[in-house]
Amino acid sequence: MKKNLISIIILALLIINIVLTAIMMFSIISTNKKTASLVTNIAAAISLDLGTEEEEVKEVVSMEDTTTYTIADMTIPFKKSQVTDADGNPQDVKDHFALISVTFSMNSKHKDYKNYGEDMTSREELIKGKIFEVVNQRTMEEAQADTEAIRLDILKKIQELFGSDFIFDATIRVIYQ
């Protein structure tokens, strides 16, 4: 009789355990759905797309249609670093320079190439000014940490200068001094 009574108690506890587990699972699933909905709404509010991002389609330019223009060996001073001693007093900082060469890749089949790309030498000083502007606003430490950002900023400034994207890439070579 004792064995039967213990078996009945164990069976009752198992059934209670199954019922409580099922209740807990349903509450977790509904909470999870609410959380996912909240995250989706927040992402939509800040213009993020979770997982369904469409890749920006970039035009692929063949090597046959690519021409280059190089601005060679510009010496550009970096912005001075803010260095302080142990007492918080500003220290004199050595001037640092970048010796930079930039090669622009241009699409010779682009509609604006005939207007701007065939005669880049007449606009070289404007281009050098934009390169100077981008590099000069950084310290040497910032430039060394993120050369890719400099490359992208130069490309963006040049595309803004011409108001066109016939220049589709910039390659830079930097020597820090």
Q: How far apart are CA 98 and CA 78, in angstroms?
A: 7
* CATH class (in words) of the domain with range 63-176: alpha beta
Per-residue pLDDT tens for 48-87?
554 544 444 456 778 888 888 999 888 898 888 776 666 7
Q: Tell me the average pLDDT of the chain.
A: 83
Per-residue pLDDT tens for 41-58?
887 777 655 454 444 445
- pLDDT at residue 140 in the model: 86
Q: What is the mean pLDDT of residues 9-27?
A: 92
Q: Is the pLDDT of residue 1 over 70?
A: no
Q: Is the pLDDT of residue 112 over 90?
A: no
- pLDDT at residue 116 in the model: 84
- pLDDT at residue 78 in the model: 87
Q: Is the pLDDT of residue 136 over 70?
A: yes
Residues 6+ apart with CB under 8 A from 39: 50
Q: Over the range 62-86, which residues count as b (16 or more CB within 10 Å of their CB) and which as e?
A: eeeeeeebebeebebebeeeeeeee
Q: What is the mean pLDDT of residues 147-164?
A: 90
For residue 160, give the nearest of 116, 122, 121 by alpha carbon: 116
Q: How far apart are CA 156 and CA 150, in angstroms?
A: 10
Q: Is the pLDDT of residue 133 over 50?
A: yes
Question: Is residue 150 within 8 Å of 174, Cβ to Cβ?
Answer: yes
Q: Taking the CB of residue 60, how many other CB atoms lie within 10 A of it?
A: 7
Question: Is residue 111 within 8 Å of 122, Cβ to Cβ?
Answer: no
